[in-house]
Structure 1
């Protein structure tokens, strides 16, 4: 066995922490390097698991509108696009349902817009009491008058519907999509048509008329009607028309507020408007009245 000479002894000097600063710089660095080589650093204690990455933000309503569509505020997933021939029946159904809602509105709510008619009905009730002296018959007069208003409102509006469904709404593709200066749009939600609107140009005064706006009653209050209206305004701007006009016999205040929110100005109203389908008989004049409102949005001065 071979042993090393006794004078070759390895001596290790232990240096306290407070003595580090007393060592010469080079020697201190050498000692620290040697210590690091002899005792590698311990692995760090396991810490709490890293939080998972936050999911990407959800797309907004505009992104959910679909390619080429417009997602109205509050109308997530709604796409406004041009009409397709396969949607003829769906568009006619929405138009029909929207117009049929006007029968009770015109017969009952609309009476508030015609104070002269109210006065006439009150005089008829008073005359009935003066002749019969019967409170029962007098109380039945208003009910009978309202019943006649409903009958004639239904009669005239059904005639108007028949006229519309046999003219422009009979072939939307031919009437609105092919002629220049006209267009028809639909609002689509989950593959179903839930709203419609049309535009037709009047070249004589360089304006566009907003027509046939209607939204399925199950999907109202979601901003769809406003998005449809804006589509007509965009159409007018792109094609360099000077103004957008519309006329309506709507009784509901919400419809008029919608037009005003789009920037339209009320240009006046008429109680002598003749609705297509009216016969102007004495009975119709007595039990059916509509007020026709005109609106205009000036885009640029001529």
Structure 2
């Protein structure tokens, strides 16, 4: 297990951070695709369309040729929310990380460094919309390079953020994660987060039937 340390983001980290963010987000996409394939409506599409073509044309070949096209459609459909999420983040909060996260005391962005390279990251920003009427900090973009996962880096980044929340006087930390992201959920629950509710983040995710788990953490008083 390689040692690591946590520090604030610097401009020279941008290329590594963007690469890690993009690859880390797309890493979840295959799971979403296979989950979508298991949905009843996908079965209906994959069986119904070829069946209708066969009944209409009498051609088994035509109905079989429709399957690759339908699978490609479902592949693109499942990928779209992830691609949109990446593009949106890179044009908003991650467009200028220093300006968005490090220009105010109430927000921050950290990276984990190991063996001279950036291998993890997490952002913290005041929550804009929550179900609880408290001063909340939102955890954003927690990610660790695949080859460094399982070494406690995600836990170190999360602990750093929780200490920051306490130092800044926040009452709670909130986050959301894909419902099948079990490794992340184990980290959160180990550190004292609990699942507050489950919901679709937007229509894009509802279309592919992928909900998010929303987690909360009560920040202990620093007094």
Mapped pair 1:290 → 2:215: no
Mapped pair 1:207 → 2:127: no
Deviates further, 249-258 or 205-214: 249-258
Task: Normalising by structure 1, report the TM-score.
Answer: 0.62
Indicate the residue corresponding to 2:14 in structure 1: 88
Question: CA RMSD of the aligned region, Å?
Answer: 2.9
1:250 and 1:95 map into 2 onto residues whose CA distance is: 19
Question: Deviation at 1:154?
Answer: 2.9
Q: 1:82 to 1:110 in 2, by over 3 A?
A: farther
Question: Deviation at 1:171?
Answer: 0.8
Indicate the residue corresponding to 1:191 in structure 2: 116
Indicate the residue corresponding to 1:124 in structure 2: 48
Q: Which runs of 4+ in 1 moved over 4 A?
A: 129-144
Mapped pair 1:154 → 2:79: yes
Mapped contact 1:272–1:291 kept (Cα < 8 A): yes
Indicate the residue corresponding to 1:4 in structure 2: none
Mapped pair 1:236 → 2:165: yes
Q: 1:125 to 1:274 in 2, by over 3 A?
A: closer
Indicate the residue corresponding to 1:108 in structure 2: 34
Map residues 53-64 of structure 1 onto 2, 5 A cutoff.
none
- Residue 180 of structure 2 aligns to a residue whose secondary structure is coil
Deviates further, 118-127 or 169-178: 118-127
Mapped contact 1:109–1:251 kept (Cα < 8 A): no
Mapped pair 1:246 → 2:171: no
Indicate the residue corresponding to 1:24 in structure 2: none
- Residue 245 of structure 1 aligns to a residue whose secondary structure is strand
2:59 and 2:191 map into 1 onto residues whose CA distance is: 53
* CA-to-aligned-CA distance 1:274-300 (integer Å, 9 cap, x gap): 35xx8x9xxxx3xx3321221111235
Q: 1:93 to 1:131 in 2, by over 3 A?
A: same
Mapped contact 1:111–1:118 kept (Cα < 8 A): yes
Task: Normalising by structure 2, report the TM-score.
Answer: 0.81
The structure richer in strand per residue is: 2
Mapped contact 2:8–2:110 kept (Cα < 8 A): yes
Higher relative contact order (CA 8 A, sep 6+): 2
2:157 and 2:21 map into 1 onto residues whose CA distance is: 14
**Can you give the 5+ residue segments of structure 2 that lack an aligned partner in the other structure?**
none
Mapped pair 1:221 → 2:145: no
Indicate the residue corresponding to 1:77 in structure 2: 3
Mapped contact 1:273–1:290 kept (Cα < 8 A): no
**Can you give the 5+ residue segments of structure 1 that lack an aligned partner in the other structure?**
1-74
Alignment coverage as a number of residue pairs? 216
Question: Deviation at 1:152?
Answer: 2.3
Deviates further, 188-197 or 121-130: 121-130
Find the partner of 1:273 among 196, 199, 202: 202
Question: Deviation at 1:141?
Answer: 5.9
